[in-house]
Amino acid sequence: MTPQASDIDFPRTNSARGRRVIGRRLLNWVLIPLAAIAVAVGAWAALAPVRSESREQVYVIPKGTWEHRQAGHHLDVIPSRIRLTLGVRDVLVMKNQDDVPQLFGPVLIMPGQSFQMPFQKPSEYIFTCPLHSSGLLTIVVEPMPEPGLARLRWRATGLVTPGAWL
């Protein structure tokens, strides 16, 4: 008996319909939720408040830093570029846990002492700093990012900047 066209087409049609069903389910239960999450995260990043519980960004000069340096090792124990944001993280705290006084940027900090420096103006501050192999410390103080693209970009930059606050 010669097979009818419908006998041959039926499995193909069934398979196509199956693919359509799977595609629709994929769209409904995976892609759309993922897109919705992406939109929600993006909207949050662009609009959510950026204040934090503490406005301090703390750095520690660890014990043994001076000995390491005397031994000829140039360890950057603290980033040479520090990013702060007004109203969010705008108080730089430097703690000296070493056994000798340390000059951090412009500040001489005694052993066991800390120094808190609040910033009030957005700017880029460059100091000489013997703690860094480059000899320079740059503190970038950014204004509070406005809601929208600026805030989104600010959070995105925070993701890839060590020590930055989100």
- Buried b / exposed e over 124-139, threshold 16 CB at 10 Å, is ebeeebebbeeeebbb
The size of the interface with other proteins (CB under 8 A), counted in residues, is 38
Return the residue matching tokens 């340096």: 69
Please state, in angstroms and rounded to a whole number, the distance separating the CA atoms of residues 84 and 87: 9
Contact in structure between 151 and 50 (CB atoms under 8 Å): yes
CA distances from 157 to 42, 84, 97, 138, 151 (A): 14, 12, 30, 17, 10
CB of 36 to other proteins, least distance (A): 5
Interface positions, 96-115, toward other proteins (CB under 8 A): 103, 106-110, 112-115
Length of the chain: 166
The reply to whether 10 sits near other proteins by the rule CB under 8 A is no
Interface positions, 33-52, toward other proteins (CB under 8 A): 33, 36-37, 40, 43-44, 47-52
54-93 mask for other proteins (x: CB under 8 A)? xx-------------------------------xx--x--
Summarize as ranges the residues that interact with other proteins (CB under 8 A): 28-29, 32-33, 36-37, 40, 43-44, 47-55, 87-88, 91, 103, 106-110, 112-118, 120-121, 125, 128
